[in-house]
Structure 1
Amino acid sequence: MATEKLVVIKETDLSNNCPECFNQNLKLTFYQKHVYAKLFHRTTSQVTNQIVCSKCGSDIYPAKWTDDIERIFTYYQKMATPEKSSLKFTSLFYILIFVIIILIGTGVYLFSEGLLTI
């Protein structure tokens, strides 16, 4: 099965006050979703974010954001540029395609020579 992984694309410390403990140690992180499977590796365009207080460890959800946090968030959101969406095939995929082509070619050859009947 495919495994999903969130890869960090931008991480920064904020000097805004935490709405929970009023400390100034916030960390803003932007993640991009990557999907890994046996036959392919896909980079999606889905970007998520998370703001965490370093002192109390609580997640700061958008409902608790102050105007200052919101302004800083939009600024850093513009700076976080994700990778382009892409699909890359693994070497196992190419080996399977090569083996299938060889098997089909062998079957067509044997059928044309009369060694294989249906």
Structure 2
Amino acid sequence: MPEKQFDIKEVTLKNNCPICFIREGLRLILKQKIKETKFYKSITSEVNYELVCKKCNSIIYPVQWTDDIDQVVDYQKKAVEPKKASTYLKKLSWVVIITTAIVVSAVIFTMLYNNL
């Protein structure tokens, strides 16, 4: 299944855009990754970031960053507190676990009962 991401924090930077050179047009979005399957939903500890210019609507890749932008992004990455990594079991997982436990218990009970 595809991995999803949710926004943790969005910050407007006061740096110049390296493409259109407009001041205060940059927006830094910090996102945390979620893995989801039929059986579980897991919040990972992986945090991704995206730098976008609001004026020219372009994504600013790390290769294009100036030293000033790099310092501000590093500061923001340290300042953000992502959600704790965790895993939640879905209903299907619980059904499989309980069904397996019942079947195993029945088999053990039957084997013990037949041996008496």
Category of TM-score, reference length = shorter chain: 0.7 to 0.9
Q: For 1:8 and 1:72, locate their aligned partners in 2 and report how far apart those are by CA, in whole Å.
A: 18
Q: Which amino acid is the alignment partner of residue 105 of structure 1?
A: S
Q: Secondary structure at the match of 1:3?
A: coil
Partner of 2:70: 70
Number of residue-to-residue matches in the alignment: 113
Is it true that 1:7 corresponds to 2:3 in the alignment? Answer: no
Equivalent runs, 1:44-83 vs 2, <5 Å: 44-83=44-83
- Using the aligned pairs only, state the percent identity: 36
Equivalent runs, 1:32-111 vs 2, <5 Å: 32-111=32-111
Q: Secondary structure at the match of 2:15?
A: coil
Q: For 1:4 and 1:62, locate their aligned partners in 2 and report how far apart those are by CA, in whole Å.
A: 22
Q: For 2:73 and 2:58, locate their aligned partners in 1 and report how far apart those are by CA, in whole Å.
A: 17
Q: CA RMSD in A?
A: 1.5
If the length of structure 1 is used for normalisation, what is the TM-score?
0.85
Q: Which amino acid is the alignment partner of residue 28 of structure 1?
A: L
- Alpha-carbon offset, residue 3 of structure 1: 3.1
Is it true that 1:30 corresponds to 2:30 in the alignment? Answer: yes
Q: Which amino acid is the alignment partner of residue 99 of structure 1?
A: T
- Alpha-carbon offset, residue 11 of structure 1: 0.6
- Alpha-carbon offset, residue 61 of structure 1: 1.2
**Unaligned 5+ residue runs, structure 2?**
none
Q: Secondary structure at the match of 1:55?
A: coil
- Alpha-carbon offset, residue 67 of structure 1: 2.0
